[in-house]
């Protein structure tokens, strides 16, 4: 009798998993110009930079707890997505905001604030399964593959190094050779939907209730406040997020899912006994100060821009940018040797600082993709991307309509404080809609007290842009 019952239930399980296989949504891999080995390499470089800046907790109780969840999830990544060269690692950052991020090839970082805000282990696992899905689906490098030669992520690593400070995108992109840290961390809505679905399935196979992923996203949304958590801007809601996750979850069947565990309660109790975590801003400011002092004492400060530059020549020289556009700049400016960005600056107006190129005077021109259907929204997105992680950046002035080689454009100025000189600087941003979701933008930078004489130079440069057909 007992024996008979057991075989009956075995049969039921087999039948169920057959249903499960046919019913779940199959996520396809996006196009990717990189190799899995490059994912590992790029992720490793970004991880080194991230760990220089962010306070990783060296606390066995906390670390082994998230590692336990991480391993459990990694073990059930579907075989087609199992890249043998990937090295998954799980670390906790001692900051209070609700956030987490994962880098190509495997390194994952979870904020202490995320563990503190979660109500169950299932919720922690939900965010981790989502992040893990981005890694397994290789979304970081797929996102970078979509980028044209002049992509915003790379810009964030270069000229915006002087504009952006403090936030993760910047922290991670600082000093990396490719400067595409931001591209790794901010995903399209399409990739978000895929990571939600893939993560839901990973949750179920690992024995968690997939609806806990939706529950955690709700928790994150609730903590939004005026700016909203960074996690939400890096992982934009693809639309009906909670409903889609729950719909997928209904197709998956998990018996007695893991929710609240003893381990979870212990780790939360342990965290309560520690001194309160600093904010990310406090933590990264300290890291920045340390680096700045070291830079000064090691004599490398001499590499930084001096800010003393010749006035722009009234003669202009034309440059042909790889069949993308032509542009003319003052003859005493030069194009900086960088494969990824097109930047023009005068001698003394640029240099390297903490391994990144920084400018006090100059202009950078780039192309980026934007899914927004109108220029105003696309420009707002761009400005918000800068502003998110930049404590010193002001709000843009009123947008003025301009034209860039016949394409409708917007122009605005933004005040900032230079990362190196700490002097006020003014940024002139011009964006224009090239159609096909392509946005051309230029960023002119000059110290605020010189901006009036540079304004006409920036306008003349932008006016000289001719797009290739």
- Residues in contact with Zn ion by the rule CB under 5 A: 187, 192, 195, 235
Tell me how many degrees the CA angle 74-76-77 measures, rounded to the nearest 5: 70
Q: Are 319 and 330 in contact (CB under 8 A)?
A: no
Nearer to Zn ion, 169 or 330 (CB): 169
What is each CA distance from 125 to 33, 254, 271, in whole angstroms? 30, 15, 18
Closest to Zn ion by CB, 165 or 238: 238
- Please give the structure tokens belonging to residue 51: 């760990």
Report whether 95 contacts 278 (CB < 8 A).
yes
Shortest distance, position 428 Cβ to Zn ion, whole Å = 33
What whole-number distance in Å separates Cα of residue 446 and Cα of residue 452?
9
Q: Minimum distance between the CB of residue 70 and Zn ion, rounded to whole angstroms?
A: 16
Quote the tokens at residue 204. 């179920």
- Residue bearing tokens 């399409």: 190
Least Cβ distance, residue 228 to Zn ion (angstroms)? 14
C-beta closer to Zn ion: residue 195 or 367? 195
> Which residue, 67 or 192, is less far from Zn ion as judged by CB?
192
Q: Which residue is at the shortest CB distance from Zn ion?
A: 235
Q: Which is nearer to Zn ion, 133 or 173 (CB)?
A: 133
Taking the complex as a whole, how short is the minimal distance between the CB of residue 436 and Zn ion, in angstroms?
A: 25
- Least distance in Å: CB of 102 to Zn ion? 9
For 207, the token pair is 């024995």
Taking every pair of Cα atoms in the chain, the longest distance, rounded to a whole number of angstroms, is: 97
Residue placing its CB nearer to Zn ion in the complex, 102 or 443:
102
Residue 234 Cβ, how far from Zn ion at the closest point, in Å?
Answer: 7
Q: Least distance (Å) from Zn ion to the CB of residue 220?
A: 11
Question: Which is closer to Zn ion, CB of 85 or CB of 190?
Answer: 190
Q: Which is nearer to Zn ion, 138 or 407 (CB)?
A: 138
Residue whose CB is less far from Zn ion, 237 or 317: 237
The nearest distance, CB 370 to Zn ion, in angstroms, is 18
Query: How many Å apart are CA 445 and CA 161, to the nearest integer?
Result: 12
Radius of gyration (Cα) for the chain, nearest Å?
A: 24
Q: Which residues contact 373 (CB under 8 A, 6 or more apart)?
A: none
> Rounded to whole angstroms, what are the CA distances from 89 to 69, 83, 208, 266, 431?
11, 14, 20, 22, 39
Residue 102 burial (10 A CB sphere; 0-12, 13-18, 19+) = buried
Nearer to Zn ion by C-beta: 187 or 325?
A: 187
Give one DSSP letter per residue of 222-251, joined into a string: HT-TTT--HHHHHS---SSHHHHHHHHHHH
Nearer to Zn ion, 158 or 195 (CB): 195
Min CB(115)–Zn ion separation in Å: 18
Cα–Cα distance between 131 and 148 in angstroms, integer? Answer: 25
- Are β-strands 400-404 and 362-369 bridged in parallel, bridged antiparallel, or unpaired? unpaired
Q: How far is the CB of 141 from Zn ion (least distance, A)?
A: 15
- The β-bridge partners of 326 are 320, 466
Burial class (CB in 10 A: 0-12, 13-18, 19+), 224: exposed
Positive or negative, the CA dihedral 181, 183, 189, 193 is: negative
Shorter beta-carbon distance to Zn ion: residue 192 or 209:
192
Sign of the torsion angle spanned by Cα atoms 31, 36, 38, 43: positive
**CB of 134 vs Zn ion, minimal distance in Å:** 5
CB of 153 to Zn ion, least distance (A): 16
Structure tokens, 331: 């003859």
Give the contacts of 237 (CB within 8 A, at least 6 positions apart).
Answer: 189, 192
């Amino acid at each position: 009798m007992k024996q008979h019952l057991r075989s009956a239930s075995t049969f039921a399980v087999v039948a169920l998993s057959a249903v499960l296989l046919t019913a779940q949504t199959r996520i396809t891999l996006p196009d990717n110009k990189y190799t899995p080995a490059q994912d590992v390499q790029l992720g490793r470089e970004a991880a080194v930079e991230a760990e220089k800046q962010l306070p990783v907790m060296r606390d066995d109780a906390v670390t082994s707890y998230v590692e336990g969840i991480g391993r459990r999830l990694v073990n059930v990544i579907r075989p087609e997505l199992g890249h043998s060269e990937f090295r998954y690692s799980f670390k906790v950052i001692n900051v209070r905001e609700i956030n987490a991020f994962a880098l190509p090839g495997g390194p994952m970082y979870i904020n202490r604030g995320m563990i503190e805000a979660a109500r169950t282990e299932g919720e922690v696992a939900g965010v981790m399964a989502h992040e893990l899905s981005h890694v397994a689906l290789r979304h970081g490098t797929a996102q970078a593959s979509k980028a044209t030669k002049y992509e915003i992520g790379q810009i964030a690593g270069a000229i915006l190094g002087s504009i952006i400070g403090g936030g993760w995108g910047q922290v991670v992109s600082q000093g990396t050779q490719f400067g595409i840290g931001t591209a790794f961390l901010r995903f399209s809505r399409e990739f978000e939907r895929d990571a939600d679905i893939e993560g839901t399935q990973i949750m179920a196979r690992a024995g968690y209730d997939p609806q806990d992923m939706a529950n955690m996203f709700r928790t994150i949304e609730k903590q939004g406040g005026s700016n909203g958590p960074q996690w939400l801007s890096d992982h934009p809601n693809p639309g009906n997020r909670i409903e889609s996750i729950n719909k997928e979850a209904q197709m998956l069947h998990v018996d007695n899912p893991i929710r609240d565990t003893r381990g979870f309660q212990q780790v939360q109790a342990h965290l309560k006994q520690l001194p309160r975590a600093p904010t990310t801003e406090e933590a990264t400011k300290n890291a920045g100060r340390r680096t700045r002092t070291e830079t000064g004492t090691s004599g490398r400060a001499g590499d930084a821009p001096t800010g003393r530059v010749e006035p722009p020549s009234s003669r202009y020289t034309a440059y042909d940018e790889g069949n993308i556009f032509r542009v003319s700049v003052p003859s005493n400016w030069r194009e900086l040797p960088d494969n990824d960005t097109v930047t023009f600056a005068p001698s003394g107006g640029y240099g390297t600082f903490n391994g990144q190129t920084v400018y006090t005077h100059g202009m950078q021109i780039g192309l980026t993709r934007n899914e927004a259907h109108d220029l105003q929204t696309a420009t707002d997105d761009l400005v918000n991307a800068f502003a998110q992680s930049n404590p010193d950046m002001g709000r843009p002035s009123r947008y003025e309509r301009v034209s860039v080689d016949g394409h409708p454009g917007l122009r605005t100025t933004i005040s900032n404080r230079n990362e190196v000189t700490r002097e006020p600087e003014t940024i002139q941003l011009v964006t224009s809609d090239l159609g096909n979701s392509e946005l051309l933008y230029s960023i002119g930078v000059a110290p605020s007290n010189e901006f009036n004489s540079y304004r006409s130079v920036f306008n003349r440069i932008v006016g000289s842009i001719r797009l290739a057909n």
